[in-house]
Amino acid sequence: MTSEVVENEFEFYSKAEKYWKDVPATVDGMLGGYGHISSIDINSSRKFLQKFLRDGPNRTGTSRALDCGAGIGRITKWLLLPLFKTVDMVDVTENFLTKAKSYLGEEGRRVRNYFCCGLQDFSPEPNSYDVIWIQWVIGHLTDNDLSDFLKRCRAGLRPNGIVVIKDNMAQEGVIMDDVDSSVCRDLDVVRKIIRRAGLHLLAEERQENFPDEIYHVYTFAMR
């Protein structure tokens, strides 16, 4: 649990904000020097997401998506804008959102809102999103704040909407990274937090073809 590794909550958040302010506003910066895995990541995410967008009585809509921890908009540009009519982006680093406006190009006109805010303080507009995509950012929230944020995401979903988490998973327990002030949780801890938020897992998948030296990455869909 993060309560065991995060000694000072205020410091945990402020140190992370400071860290990201110094990160280059590039794809390589967003991916911690692993920019070359971006297309593998996006292709896997698209296949995962399209299972829910196919025809059927409980099909997830394609009107509006929310990109959480959006950075410069890598996921918005390559995954969400090709599939959804409009996208909103939220990130704690203002410089990244400013960069996104040029990085996204012409298609960026379909980004309705750029919210500069930490997820612990952000509330998605109720009943508004078909998909809320949360990638490589849950480690920047304490367990309580993550659970509360997921509850707010649940309220933000339209009928048949889904919340997706894609993130690193530790082998066991919760590991603190002092460099970027984040935690990495194991699968059981993440599943418990999802349940605590009142969400039900619909699908879970391990990312393939990533470098061996990085954490295992899993994608979860829930509502």
pLDDT at 213: 94
pLDDT over 80 (residue 13) = yes
What is the architecture of the domain spanning 2-222? 3-Layer(aba) Sandwich (3.40)
**5 known ligand binder:** no
Question: Which residues contact residue 159 at a Cβ distance below 8 angstroms, ignoring those fewer than 6 apart?
Answer: 61
pLDDT over 80 (residue 88) = yes
Chain mean pLDDT for the chain: 97
**81 known ligand binder:** no
**69 known ligand binder:** yes
**186 known ligand binder:** no
Q: Which residue is associated with the tokens 């995509």?
A: 133
pLDDT tens readout for residues 50-64: 999 987 888 999 999
**90 known ligand binder:** no
**91 known ligand binder:** yes
**119 known ligand binder:** yes
Q: What is the mean pLDDT of residues 79-107?
A: 98
> pTM for this structure?
0.97
pLDDT tens readout for residues 158-202: 999 999 999 999 999 999 999 999 999 999 999 999 999 999 999
pLDDT at 152: 98
**CB contact at 8 A, 161 and 223:** yes
pLDDT at 149: 98
How does residue 143 score in pLDDT terms, banded at 50, 70 and 90? very high
How does residue 3 score in pLDDT terms, banded at 50, 70 and 90? confident
Which residues is 111 bridged to in the sheet? 87
Distance of CA 133 to the CA centre of its chain: 5
pLDDT at 107: 96
**150 known ligand binder:** no
pLDDT at 4: 82
Listed residue (166, 86, 171, 68) closest to 130, CA to CA: 86
